Amino acid sequence: MTKIDDVARLAGVSTATVSRALRGLPTVSAATRRRVLAAAEQLQYAVSPSASRLAGGRTGTVAVVVPRITRWFFGTVVEAVEDYLHQNGYDLLLYNLGGREQTRQRVLRPASLHKRVDAIILVATPLRAADLTALTKLALPGVTISSGSGVPGWPCIRIDDVAAARTATRHLLDLGHTRIAHISGDPDDELAFTTHLDRRRGYQEALRAAGIRPDPSLDVESQFTVDGGTRATAELLARGEPPTAIFAACDEMAMGAMTALRDAGLRVPQDVSVIGIDDHDLAGALGLSTIAQPAAEQGLLAARMLLDPLGVRVADPHAGLVPAPRRPDTDPRTPSSVILPTRLVVRESTAPPRAH
């Protein structure tokens, strides 16, 4: 196996010069660089990416923190990040919090990340004062995705959850529904997410704008899962007169709602219309109306925004899929926020209410 010492002997230079030449540093003359490259090619010497990165003070790794990797949104974001990092010579270190507060406290500490990663992506991870202090001490570049709380100096990539919920509710109102239920996230969730609060706010704003007072009996909380949507809808139906439409805070909950309605002998959309948010991979197959959000694009844009300040010359096969990243503001207290658009996708699960 060829070693760097062999290249140095053949080129007539030191191993340090070989290292600098192969890393493209400007402290090596053009003639010496050509001699080193010719020797390396002759000996079929390949630079170890990990060794080269460590020599440059880099780990070549980006940490991605997600609440629950099994959820569609988080899995889609991580896949997009990993694909982009891999194409550009970086590895991904995944921290799956699994909904556990103790895991969050352990991960978001300097001891867990120091000298292990070059940058951090936080996906929908609420932060407390101690977390912000720890992340600031690390002095690493980072990006937050779909986060209710930011990190000073870090840009945030997200959708407008309030506006998305307003659009979903307004679609049902435009169809003629007035008795519209909402199933959303659990406020007792250990990690204290805020997405469900924003989506409830949008739902209520749309109702009030239509002159309808939100009815607490039509608002049921559960987990952002298919099972959570099934349980929430079953509880909703047990409260008495069923609604004519349900706005679910995510597509997985909407799928659960459709299951519970079917089990109760109700038809979608003839008896109850259902709409969600996401445009989950299964939404089209199930005929689910939804508010499509660009989940993969959020991960892709986060990866692009991270590699640029790291000085990586990115190979970008996805150019044009998302807006070019905006650089963070010069004032670290006001990091830039990139809000990506959503769109209403009307399918078979929503229709005007049946005349009585």
Give me the residue label for tokens 């070019």: 324
Which DSSP string corresponds to 109-159?
Answer: SHHHHTTT-SEEEEES----HHHHHHHHHHT--EEEES-SS--TT--EEE-
At a CB cut-off of 8 Å and minimum separation 6, what does 167 contact?
202, 291, 342, 344
* pLDDT tens digits for range 283-325: 999 999 999 999 999 999 999 988 876 766 555 444 444 444 4
* Whole-number average pLDDT of the chain: 84
Question: pLDDT class for 48, splitting at 50, 70, 90?
Answer: low
Confidence of residue 227 (pLDDT cuts 50, 70, 90): very high
pLDDT confidence of residue 187: 62
pLDDT digits (tens, 9 = 90+) for 199-223: 999 999 999 999 999 999 999 999 8
CA-based angle 108:113:118, to the nearest 5? Answer: 120
Lowest mean pLDDT among 93-107, 166-180, 231-245: 93-107
**Cα–Cα dist 74/77, whole Å:** 5
User: With the CA atoms of 67, 71, 73 and 74 taken in that order, what torsion angle do they form, in degrees rounded to the nearest 10?
Assistant: 40
| pTM (2 d.p.) | 0.78
Q: What confidence tens digit (pLDDT) does each residue in 269-284 have?
A: 999 999 999 999 999 9
Contact 276, 304 (CB under 8 A): no
Looking at residue 216, its pLDDT comes to 94
Q: Give CA–CA dist 249/274, Å, rounded.
A: 11
- What are the tens digits of pLDDT across the range 335-355? 577 899 999 999 999 999 987
Per-residue pLDDT for 120 more than 80? yes
Q: Given this model, what pLDDT does residue 326 score? A: 41
Measure the CA–CA gap between 59 and 118, rounded to whole angstroms. Answer: 6
Query: Where is average pLDDT lowest: 3-12, 22-31, 201-210, 293-302?
Result: 22-31
Nearest-CA neighbor of 228 among 269, 266, 272, 196? 196
Write down the pLDDT at residue 47.
59
pLDDT one-digit tens code per residue, 123-175? 988 777 787 888 887 788 889 998 656 777 888 999 999 999 999 999 999 99
Residue-level pLDDT at 106: 73
Q: Using 50, 70 and 90 to split pLDDT, how confident is the model at 330? A: very low
Residue 332: per-residue pLDDT? 39
CA distances from 348 to 8, 158, 252, 273, 290 (A): 69, 28, 16, 9, 10
Residue where the block lists tokens 């899962």: 225
Q: For residue 246, give the H/E element and its range.
A: strand 245-248
Residue 101 has what pLDDT?
67
- Statement: residue 39 has pLDDT above 60: yes
Buried-exposed string 100-133: b where 16+ CB fall within 10 A, e elsewhere: eeebbeebbbeebbeeebbbbbbbbbbbeeebee
Q: How many CB atoms lie within 10 A of CB 192?
A: 15
User: And the tokens for 171?
Assistant: 């679609």
Predicted pLDDT at 307 = 84
What pLDDT shows up at residue 333? 40
Q: What is the mean pLDDT of residues 212-240?
A: 94
Cis? peptide before 49, omega within 30° of 0: no
Q: Name the residue with higher pLDDT: 29 or 76.
A: 76
> What burial class does residue 339 get, using C-beta atoms within 10 Å of its C-beta: 0-12 exposed, 13-18 middle, 19+ buried?
exposed
**Mean pLDDT of the 36-47 span:** 81
The reported pLDDT for the residue numbered 329 is 37
